[in-house]
Structure 1
């Protein structure tokens, strides 16, 4: 059983050896690890080429920076046909030793599963904590269309067949939500997804992390909703409900933090589409009641 591991790198010298050490410390697997490092336009001498010479990996250097979405697709296109399961590991994350074996076992039990996700330990300057404690993802397509429930592709193992029919044209000008687009693209084909509470990933939260650039993340999501939802045959209502959820989240945040800017922004959504905002309110209430992210 062969695996395809794609690690996009951009100014990753501080992280890459930790990530690679975690890949080659995997236990309980058979087959071959096809590991591709995609250097996304990092200039010399800041690239990682000299740091990875002792690892059995394939190194691909892109002349210009295209973003992680493009880099992942380049890596995916390089994988040999023998690969059955794929994973996209971010340069600043690290897997636990049972990541591949445990998620593989889950996927092997049900061929309708396009991907399986694990819980994660978040590490930052203040300590560490478990990502999903009181709530957990359900990864239903109907819910993922409204809001992403995963923080990183690093916590996911994907069935290779679920990626073969994806028709991507590299059209995602804003980075950040590319993993959300990936999950939606897989599930739109009819695949299912599942989650395990096992903590199999260390997610390093640092100032340069993409999730801290919230305005860019918002633009990325908005672009997906406007341009990719129709390509995935999602409906106008799906677009409205997503926007209603954004509006409701602004209202809740504005009331909770007494932030007038968020409150006014949310009320503007409410005025434009009260039906969608009310549906999003019920969506959030249902998730809270059922302990879903």
Structure 2
């Protein structure tokens, strides 16, 4: 099995060695790794070039910062044709030793699978915990259209053919708000007819810190909205898919407003309800169905 690993780096000196150590500690894949570290415009002397000199990796230095989404695709475009499986590891995450071998085994069992995802352990200033405990993600296309249930590309191994078939021309600005780029990637792969699989095994250490992209909720919302408005039609998704996504946003605001007694959230959700009560009610049933079946 041949694996291609892409690690985008931006001011990553505090993290990169831990990430690379986890890559080269993988069980059963020695000699079958091609690793690209993409320095996304980090100025000297803050870049990682001297820190990674001892590792067998390809180092690419971009003169300007274009964002993690662009950097991932720069790396992917340079992987050899013999690559069978690809992974995008974030600079501040680390894999467990069986990440590649276990997820590759899942993908090899079923050629219809475009990607496989694992559970993760979250580390933050308060300690650590398993991400999916009582619930699990449902990676069906119908569900991912409504809400992304994965937190990071670091928890996913992707079939190379599924990425090749996207035939994306990554040009700037490909995605003006790139924070939700991983959600676009999962949707794009599944829209081709591929399926996805999830294993409950914890194979990733995800380090949650204040600078994490998921904390920028306003930018995340802009990114998702851009995908829904501009990419859903390109993926041949319907206007109902767009409405249901917006209905889910509205219902989540209502629930959050009630739970936290936040009037702003509650009123924002009511605006969605007034505009499209059918979609908000469908989203309510979607959330209720997930809760009943212990899905994220």
TM range (shorter): over 0.9
Structure 2 gap segments, 5+ residues each: none
Give the counterpart of 1:215 among 190, 202, 218: 218
Quick check: 47-56 or 30-39, which moved more? 30-39
Deviations along 1:25-75, whole A, 9 cap, x unmatched?
A: 000236510000011111111110010000000000111111111111111
2:275 pairs with 1:275: no
Moved over 6 A (4+): none
Q: TM-score, normalised by structure 2?
A: 0.98
Task: Tell me, in whole angstroms, the C-alpha distance in 1 between the residues paired with 2:31 and 2:62.
Answer: 29
Q: TM-score, normalised by structure 1?
A: 0.99
2:249 pairs with 1:230: no
Report if aligned partners of 1:3, 1:31 keep a CA contact under 8 Å in 2.
no
2:266 pairs with 1:291: no
Per-residue deviation at 1:79? 0.3
Deviations along 1:185-241, whole A, 9 cap, x unmatched?
A: 000000000000000000001111111111111111001001111111111000000
Per-residue deviation at 1:176? 1.2
Per the alignment, residue 139 of structure 2 pairs with 139
SS of residue paired to 1:117: strand
Per the alignment, residue 154 of structure 2 pairs with 154
Per the alignment, residue 129 of structure 1 pairs with 129
Per the alignment, residue 82 of structure 1 pairs with 82
Equivalent runs, 1:170-185 vs 2, <5 Å? 170=170, 171-185=174-188
Per the alignment, residue 7 of structure 2 pairs with 7
Deviations along 1:249-293, whole A, 9 cap, x unmatched?
A: 000000111101000100000000000000000000000000001
Task: Tell me, in whole angstroms, the C-alpha distance in 2 between the residues paired with 1:69 and 1:280.
Answer: 29
Structure 1 gap segments, 5+ residues each: none
Per the alignment, residue 64 of structure 1 pairs with 64
Task: Tell me, in whole angstroms, the C-alpha distance in 2 between the residues paired with 1:229 and 1:73.
Answer: 21
SS of residue paired to 1:105: helix
The number of residues matched between the two structures is: 293
Equivalent runs, 1:243-262 vs 2, <5 Å? 243-262=246-265
Give the counterpart of 1:197 among 196, 200, 219: 200
Task: Tell me, in whole angstroms, the C-alpha distance in 2 between the residues paired with 1:175 and 1:215.
Answer: 12
Task: Tell me, in whole angstroms, the C-alpha distance in 1 between the residues paired with 2:195 and 2:25.
Answer: 29
SS of residue paired to 2:13: coil
